[in-house]
Amino acid sequence: MTDHSEIKYVIAIASGKGGVGKSTVSVNLAVALAQTGAATGLLDADVYGPSIPMMMGVRRMPQSNGKKILPLEAHGVRLMSLGFLMPDGAPTVWRGPLVAGAVQQLLRDVEWGPLEYLLIDLPPGTGDAQLTLAQSTTLAGAVIVTTPQDVAMQIASKALAMFREVNVPILGIVENMSQFVCPHCGSASAIFKRGGGRRASESLGVPFLGEIPLDSMICQTGDRGAPIPTMHPDSPVAEAFRQIAGNLVERVRAEAASGPVIRMGP
């Protein structure tokens, strides 16, 4: 099957463990990139817990052009998720080969059209979905999302090592939940720890893309399907995502400065 669409940069968003806010980072980062004017897509490859339909406020079924699935769109981002194709509340109880097959189908059978960036929100861990992605398409690189605790950093380092093992560039580390900002007085408290992401980037020899505070606004907007850069563009959290998006663009272009446009499919 031939795919005539062109995706310039395919970026994996990964984590070593669940609960670090990887999907939240993926959603808000995609919207921040789209707001720069770049054609941006977001593929929810977290087949065990597809949450992007809720966080982007889209619940309808995608259409087909007779050959391929047409992505949905919200907040300026083209979207595809297994969550669009399954009944609400249906559990995903799959073994490794089925996971790998689902990721391949989501990559192969969607008519994305021309994109500057395609962000792929992976399941947590270092299993079949990650390996399938690395083997199915040429990645511009991977972003590792973590939280400040030492244990989270140790687990994130395993995800980083896995991508290095399959020769995928590490674009950088994003530290989520870096500190809690009181909505009443504005003071910041390091609930978990402080500076763990930056220390990990230095010890692992990868760039530090930035940190995102722990803010109740992120949870509220995610539940409402209204990402922070859209609903609260002047907030410090939105600015944090914009800064990370800018740093990511610089890293992607530095890694792929001499590389060709990536074509999805055969």
Report the 3 state secondary structure along the chain: CCCCCEEEEEEEEECCCCCCCHHHHHHHHHHHHHCCCCCEEEEECCCCCCCHHHHHCCCCCCCECCCCECCEEECCEEEEEHHHCCCCCCCCCCCHHHHHHHHHHHHHCECCCCEEEEEEECCCCCCHHHHHHHHHCCCCEEEEEECCCHHHHHHHHHHHHHHHHCCCCEEEEEEEEEEEECCCCCCEECCCCCCHHHHHHHHHCCCEEEEEEECHHHHHHHHHCCCHHHHCCCCHHHHHHHHHHHHHHHHHHHHCCCCCCEECCC
Q: Is the pLDDT of residue 115 over 80?
A: yes
User: In this model, does residue 73 exceed pLDDT 90?
Assistant: yes
Whether residue 1 is contained in a domain is answered as no
Please state, for a pLDDT cut of 90, what percent of the chain lies above it.
Answer: 31
Q: Kindly state the average pLDDT of the residues 206-234.
A: 87
Binned at pLDDT 50, 70 and 90, residue 151 comes out as low
Task: Please report whether residue 57 resides in a domain.
Answer: yes
Tell me which of 62-66, 140-144, 208-212, 233-237 is least confident: 62-66
Q: Is the pLDDT of residue 65 over 70?
A: yes
| Total domain count, the chain | 1
Residue 240 pLDDT: 93
Query: Where is pLDDT greater, at 64 or 202?
Result: 64
Q: What pLDDT is attached to residue 18?
A: 66
Q: What is the mean pLDDT of the chain?
A: 79
Residues spanned by the domain of 166: 6-263
Q: Is residue 240 part of a domain?
A: yes
Average pLDDT of the segment spanning 44-48: 77
Q: Please report which confidence band the pLDDT of residue 17 belongs to, taking 50, 70 and 90 as the band edges.
A: low
**pLDDT band of 263, cuts 50, 70, 90:** very low
58 falls within a domain: yes
CATH number of the domain to which 233 belongs: 3.40.50.300
pLDDT category of residue 215 using cuts at 50, 70 and 90: confident
pLDDT tens, position by position, 159-195: 788 888 888 889 999 988 776 666 666 656 665 666 6
Comparing 56 with 64, the larger pLDDT belongs to 56
pLDDT at site 3: 45
Contact present, 47 and 103 (Cβ < 8 Å): yes
**Per-residue model confidence (pLDDT) at position 182:** 61
Is residue 265 very low, low, confident or very high in pLDDT (cuts 50, 70, 90)? Answer: very low
* Res 171: pLDDT: 94
For residue 250, what pLDDT band results from cuts at 50, 70 and 90? Answer: very high
According to the model, what pLDDT value does residue 40 have?
97
